[in-house]
Structure 1
Amino acid sequence: MTRIVVLATGGTISSRTSGQGGSRAKDTAADLISALRDHGLDDFSTSDSPEGIELESEDIAVQNSFNFSFEDLSRITHAVARILSRENVDGVVVTHGTDTMEETLALLGFTHDDPRPVVLTGAQRSPDHADSDGPRNLHDALRTAAAPASRDQGVLLVFGGEIHSALGLRKRHTLAAQPFGHRSAGALGAVLGSGPRYFAQALTPDPLPPPNAEFEQQRVDMVLGYPGADAALMHAALEAGASGVVVLGAGAGNPGVALTDAIAQATAQGVLVGLGTRTGAGPVAVIYGGGGAVDAVAAGAVPLGDLPATQARILMALLLSTHTPSHARDQLQVRMRQQT
């Protein structure tokens, strides 16, 4: 018998219309599992696991993910590690809101150090919606977590019938049934009638230490480049005590003259600056001077490749929580080179 633990954190998959206005997270992990039976999705026999899947449920939060802090992400990560410390567990499925799922995927993806799969899933339509996608996504995630082929694939997202690797992933659409995609790659696999099928082996990074109390206190802000952008937002981040800043430049990562000057000021103060792009796909490319990425890198910013800024922010906070700023910068550069 394959044992999978369902760790619920809230999100749309657990949300119902509230008398207080709008939908709010409500259903527990046990509720989500019970809903599988209501939708005829409680047959977990697969060709890979003919004995079936034995489920456990645990709740760590019942809230919508747009309210999550670093502390919440850390609690989820430590709960997953605690569950995997048990030898009788074969995998973990985490149900999560889609709004900030990419951040939790990043924290788990950078720290996961176990061959057993961790699979995140959620929903775009709540359980009281006539066409809720939550039960099907959860069913697919459970089958994926239970499949031997999922071992050593790292942290995964299963959503809309697709299997994605955690890192490089972002929510690209507000309402579509499949809102997730990678900046520069496709799906890792798909959940078909016979179960999960992989098209490729995930590239998993060397794991970092799990988040600590220092991680939970890190302030890493994001500053957007746009026509007319000055240094006001960068200065505000520094005055607020930011230890790191992600600057999202236009195009391939071009912030403009005012922000490149501010990057130089920030790095001179020991602040870690990552250079991302506000575009939806493709990597940062160091091509242009005159306020472009060439000048930003010369000012001390680290190009973030095709890692989404939301996920790079998590990586920067992890590195800053265990290293001096200069060492964190060196480690960030090493990890960005390993992406290419």
Structure 2
Amino acid sequence: MNRIVVLATGGTISSHRSPDGGSRAKDSAADLIGALSAHGLDDFTSGDAHAGIELESEDIAVQNSFNFSFADISRVAHAVARILSREDVDGVVVTHGTDTMEETLALLGFTHDDPRPVVLTGAQRSPDHSDSDGPRNLHDAIRTAASPASRGQGVLLVFGGEIHSALGLRKNHTLAPQPFGHRSAGALGAVLESGPRYFAQALTPEPLPLPNDAFHQQRVDMVLGYPGADAALMHAALETGATGVVVLGAGAGNPGVPLTDAIAQATAQGVLVGLGTRTGA
């Protein structure tokens, strides 16, 4: 019997339309698991020995992920590590909003230090949508987390029937049923009728320590390079106490002369500047 813990954080997969418009996170992990039966996906929710999967639920937050802070994603990482300190747990599934899922995936991907899988999933359409994708994604994620083939694959995303490695993953589309992808790589595998199937082995880095209070308090701003961009936003970041700045330049990462001068000023002050490209790959 595999024991999988479903850790809920909110997001569209748990959201319902509100009277004042839009959707708000509402459902708990137990609600999400319970809803599987309405979609004919409850083949393991009872802990049936034939299914071989026993589910446990835990809630860490019920909010939309665009409101997440460094402290919120750190709390997810610490909760996952705490759950995996138990020998009776075989894997963890984290339900999460898609808006900032790539940031949580990155933190987990760099700090996960266990062969047992951690699988994130979510939804593009809320539970009260006529064609909600949440139950299927959750079902696929649970099967993936329980599969022996997932051991040693690190932190994964299961979404739209695909299995992806956490690091380097981005949300590339606002509305598509499968909004995630790597700009320079493909999926690790797929969730088929017979179960998860892998096409490749994930590259997992040497794990970093779990974040501490200093991580929660840091300020890291992002500055975009574009025609006519001056250093005003860079200077504003420095004046408001940024300990790090990510500058996304044009093409190969070219920031332009005004930003180049501001970068030199920032590094002279001990601020870490990460230079990347706005092309995304």
Superposition TM-score, scaled by structure 2 size = 0.97
Q: Are the structure 2 counterparts of residues 18 and 36 from structure 1 closer, same or farther at C-alpha, using a change threshold of 3 Å?
A: same
1:12 corresponds in structure 2 to: 12
Cα root mean square deviation, aligned: 1.1
1:268 corresponds in structure 2 to: 268
CA distance in structure 2 between the partners assigned to 1:155 and 1:93 by the alignment: 10
2:213 corresponds in structure 1 to: 213
Tell me if the contact between 1:2 and 1:51 (Cα under 8 Å) persists in the aligned partners.
Answer: no
Uncovered stretches (5+) of structure 2, i.e. residues with no partner: none
* Counterpart residue identity of residue 72, structure 2: D
**Any residues of structure 2 matched to 1:117-128 within 5 Å, and which?**
117-128=117-128
1:305 corresponds in structure 2 to: none
**3-state SS in 2 of match to 1:141:** helix
Structure with greater helix share of residues: 1
**3-state SS in 2 of match to 1:61:** strand
1:39 corresponds in structure 2 to: 39
What's the CA shift for 1:50? 5.2
1:141 equivalent to 2:141? Answer yes
1:248 corresponds in structure 2 to: 248
2:85 corresponds in structure 1 to: 85
1:166 corresponds in structure 2 to: 166
1:98 equivalent to 2:98? Answer yes
Uncovered stretches (5+) of structure 1, i.e. residues with no partner: 283-340
CA distance in structure 2 between the partners assigned to 1:21 and 1:51 by the alignment: 40
Superposition TM-score, scaled by structure 1 size = 0.80
What's the CA shift for 1:44? 3.5
Count residues with an aligned counterpart. Answer: 278
* Counterpart residue identity of residue 84, structure 1: L
> After TM superposition, where is structure 1 displaced by more than 4 Å over at least 4 residues in a row?
none
What's the CA shift for 1:51? 4.8
What's the CA shift for 1:19? 1.8
CA distance in structure 2 between the partners assigned to 1:191 and 1:39 by the alignment: 17
What's the CA shift for 1:22? 1.0
**3-state SS in 2 of match to 1:208:** coil
CA distance in structure 2 between the partners assigned to 1:251 and 1:268 by the alignment: 25
What's the CA shift for 1:21? 2.4
CA distance in structure 1 between the partners assigned to 2:129 and 2:255 by the alignment: 42
**3-state SS in 2 of match to 1:80:** helix
Tell me if the contact between 1:8 and 1:94 (Cα under 8 Å) persists in the aligned partners.
Answer: yes
CA distance in structure 2 between the partners assigned to 1:274 and 1:216 by the alignment: 19
* Counterpart residue identity of residue 71, structure 1: A
1:329 corresponds in structure 2 to: none
* Counterpart residue identity of residue 123, structure 2: A
* Counterpart residue identity of residue 82, structure 1: R
**3-state SS in 2 of match to 1:142:** helix
CA distance in structure 1 between the partners assigned to 2:51 and 2:59 by the alignment: 26
CA deviations over 1:48-91 (Å, ceiling 9, x no partner): x9552100000100000000000101111111111001000000
* Counterpart residue identity of residue 279, structure 1: T
1:61 corresponds in structure 2 to: 61
Tell me if the contact between 1:15 and 1:23 (Cα under 8 Å) persists in the aligned partners.
Answer: yes
1:309 corresponds in structure 2 to: none
Tell me if the contact between 2:98 and 2:123 (Cα under 8 Å) persists in the aligned partners.
Answer: yes
Tell me if the contact between 2:154 and 2:165 (Cα under 8 Å) persists in the aligned partners.
Answer: yes
Tell me if the contact between 1:102 and 1:169 (Cα under 8 Å) persists in the aligned partners.
Answer: yes
CA distance in structure 2 between the partners assigned to 1:64 and 1:178 by the alignment: 19
Tell me if the contact between 2:43 and 2:51 (Cα under 8 Å) persists in the aligned partners.
Answer: no
**3-state SS in 1 of match to 2:190:** strand
Tell me if the contact between 1:154 and 1:204 (Cα under 8 Å) persists in the aligned partners.
Answer: yes
What's the CA shift for 1:183? 2.0
CA distance in structure 1 between the partners assigned to 2:56 and 2:20 by the alignment: 31
2:24 corresponds in structure 1 to: 24
Structure with greater strand share of residues: 2
CA distance in structure 2 between the partners assigned to 1:264 and 1:183 by the alignment: 30
What's the CA shift for 1:254? 1.1
**3-state SS in 2 of match to 1:163:** strand
Tell me if the contact between 1:96 and 1:122 (Cα under 8 Å) persists in the aligned partners.
Answer: yes
**3-state SS in 2 of match to 1:136:** helix
CA deviations over 1:248-275 (Å, ceiling 9, x no partner): 0111211111111111111111110111
CA distance in structure 1 between the partners assigned to 2:50 and 2:22 by the alignment: 42
2:234 corresponds in structure 1 to: 234
1:70 corresponds in structure 2 to: 70
